Amino acid sequence: MIQDPEHARRLAQNLVELLAPYEEELIQLERDVPAFGPLRRAVGIAIAEACYTISDTPSPQENIVPPVDDAASRAR
């Protein structure tokens, strides 16, 4: 299991870039030979799962809670 979300996002992006042209080619092949349908669907599922990984991983954020000793806290 990949522990670093940013690393997982990069791997998923690489997978999408690698598989997308194959899916397009399989779509063309499936029109002539329907037996390519299951392979095209499998590649499409892999792409969809990679896209989910890319979009589902929260982007790293700085601490969104202001520090206790900031100017607003001192004014109170």
Q: What is the mean pLDDT of residues 43-65?
A: 76
16 domain residue, yes or no: yes
Tell me what pLDDT residue 38 has: 96
- The amino acid sitting at 8 is A
53 pLDDT tier (thresholds 50, 70, 90): confident
Whether 41 is in a domain gets the answer yes
* Count of positions (residues) in the chain: 76
Handedness of CA 63, 67, 68, 73 (dihedral sign): negative
* pLDDT band with cut points at 50, 70 and 90 for residue 2: low
- Whole-prediction pTM: 0.66
The number of domains in the chain is 1
Asked, for residue 44, whether it belongs to a domain, the answer is yes
Is residue 71 in a domain? no
